[in-house]
Amino acid sequence: MRLAAIVFVLAAPTTLAGPVTRAAATLQPTKDSKAQGTVTFTKTSGGVRVQARIEGLTPGLHGFHIHEFGDCSAPDGSAAGSHFNPGAEPHAGRADAARHTGDLGNVEADATGVASLDYVDARSSFEGASSILGRGVIVHANPDDLKTQPTGNAGGRLACGVIGVAKGE
């Protein structure tokens, strides 16, 4: 029995595949929403590059966060839990020194309902306590005001996706 456990540990895919350098989430609409899209996360020297393209939004700003659970099973996206906050920091904007790891600010949808985002997040990681792997990505109905605790007053959840390891480029 011990030998089987040792073999399982040695054969674990993450052990043999090496360090994670890329992850992705496919955003699916929650109930009564049309929002959908993709988010990729790529390890860089400055942190994790976050690139997103989201469609089906109303024009304007929408809160965009990493949530604690990679569970999109609830019709309203609530199974993803709260913002990912391993450091017990206050809610804030992505440029603030003290913030949830999951505070990614807002995405802005244009007149056609499409939002794009491309920046490097120094807080996100694929290892340790700040690992975003297996977490949820949520797009909210309202703008994140970047100050109201603990959610930024961003409103309902329009889309949810789970961050999983992706093939490196």
Which one of 62, 83, 94, 99 is the catalytic residue?
83
Burial classification of residue 93, based on how many CB atoms lie within 10 Å of its CB (0-12 exposed, 13-18 middle, 19 or more buried)? middle
Of the candidates 62, 67, 94, 123, the residue annotated as catalytic is 67
Candidates 62, 121, 140, 144; catalytic one: 140
Q: Which of 103, 121, 123, 135 is catalytic?
A: 103
Residue of 62, 91, 99, 123 marked catalytic: 91
CA-nearest of 107, 124, 125 to 116 is: 107
- From the candidates 62, 94, 135, 157, which is the catalytic residue? 157
Contact 39, 67 (CB under 8 A): no
* Residue 135 appears among annotated catalytic residues: no
For residue 37, what are the β-bridge partners? 27, 54
76 as an active site residue: the answer is: no
Choose the catalytic residue: 62, 94, 100, 123: 100
Beta strands, E only, the chain: 22-29, 36-44, 47-55, 60-67, 103-109, 115-121, 136-140, 157-162, 164-165
Q: Single out the residue of 35, 146, 145 nearest to residue 91, CA to CA.
A: 146
> For the chain, how many helices (H) and strands (E)?
2, 9
Candidate list 65, 99, 123, 135, residue with the active-site label? 65
Task: Establish whether 62 is a catalytic residue.
Answer: no
Q: Is 157 assigned a catalytic role?
A: yes
Q: Which residues are catalytic?
A: 65, 67, 83, 91, 100, 103, 140, 157
